Amino acid sequence: MSRVAAVWTALPDRRHTQSEISDVIAPLLTDDPVRAAVARRLHAHAGVDTRHLALPLDAYAGLRTFGASNDAFLEVATDLTAEAAARALEEAGLTAHEVDHVVMTSVTGIGAPSVDVLVAERLGLRSDVRRTPSFGWGCAGGAAGLARTDDLLRGRPRDVALLIAVELCSLTLQHGDDSTANLAASGLFGDGAAAVVLVGDEHPLARPRFAAGYAGRESDAHRTARVVDSRSTLHAGTTGDLGWRVRDTGFQVVLSARLPELVGAHLLGDVKALLVEHDLEPSQVPTWVVHAGGPRILDAVRDTLGLDEQDLRHSRASLREAGNLSSASVLHVLDATLAASTAPAGSPAVLVAFGPGVSTELVLLRLDGPPRSGPVRARAAATGRTSA
């Protein structure tokens, strides 16, 4: 089993309230006052209070071509991802030169060379670093990337891997598209990057530094987790429910109103299929790390699995403070969960995300280290790391 040695999330410095964003974005989507009112209503009920944007708010009026949007993506995504990766490596106690593999996921911009190459140059990764860039996992990318990175490290147990997820959803804005899907998406999705450092189970960091015999201060220790298992499921007949249509102007969102229904129909069976191999039931899992897909998605997860609102507190907070960060969302929630967890050492946690397909991506974790007993350590606001 690989170990999650550190997680770090980076958000753009430009932070705006939902109402400030709506006032600027709604007129770009439609000149129909009725549809503009619908946009504002959808934004107000998205469960989002603030979002961090890649560009100044007044720049989006001039962002009208795929080329301009993608140029901005490559610049800002490289900056955010490099920040998240550097901070995650620092927290893990590793240097960039020790990274053997980089797995990258994004679905809001493209590049060749891809962002992982630009980040490798920025951080000073070795020239022989092995790279796996991915496009297409969408909102499931954080979970799928974690699972695939674990698969990789099972075959190379002495190695260090860096998983990076970066999404600048605001740059996919489609001017003049007043479809309900676009009106809703323009109020739901946010911008950000996350980085996870994982090590194979023969790496020295596979033993937590705050395990028995740890001599440092409690404030120096951070909880880690072992990746135990994962499960991927594609649900038949759902390819038209979530994703992109690629247009001359860029990525036009596909967002079906029946997504919560699909979650309700499939999630319990998927989770049980993952847990049964480990003699577990959903009721025996004290920690849930759920992609902040939106209020109705979180409601469907809660009701389908029989969870309490407390189980989703970090997901609700992530949505409220940053919006749906697509592939980075579930890693943002994982970051907050590990920082604040009071669950016993060795207890299971299930990480959940949904993406185009429609697909469900699940990762079974085991928490390491002592439960958090005191106040959560302060987290830098500039990176989006907030107290739970």
- For residues 310 and 46, give the distance between their C-alpha atoms in angstroms, rounded to a whole number: 19
Residue 333 structure tokens: 């929630």
- For residues 254 and 185, give the distance between their C-alpha atoms in angstroms, rounded to a whole number: 9
3-class SS at 354? strand
- For residues 238 and 356, give the distance between their C-alpha atoms in angstroms, rounded to a whole number: 8
3-class SS at 135? coil
Over its C-alpha atoms, the chain yields an Rg (Å, rounded) of: 20
Residue 13 backbone phi and psi in degrees, to 5: -70, -25
By the 8 A CB rule, do 358 and 262 touch? Answer: yes
**Is the omega angle on the peptide bond into residue 358 within 30 degrees of 0, that is, cis?**
yes
- For residues 318 and 288, give the distance between their C-alpha atoms in angstroms, rounded to a whole number: 14
- For residues 179 and 176, give the distance between their C-alpha atoms in angstroms, rounded to a whole number: 9
Three-point CA angle 332, 290, 187, nearest 5°: 70
User: Which residue in 139, 161, 166, 333 is the catalytic one?
Assistant: 139
Residue 139 among the catalytic residues: yes
How does DSSP assign 23-78, residue by residue?
Answer: HHHHHHH-S-HHHHHHHHHHHHTSS-SEEEESS-GGGGGG--SHHHHHHHHHHHHH
DSSP 136: S
By the 8 A CB rule, do 209 and 216 touch? Answer: yes
* CA distance readout (Å), 159 to 130, 166, 355, 356: 11, 23, 29, 31
Neighbours of 281 (CB within 10 A): 10
Active-site annotation, residues:
139
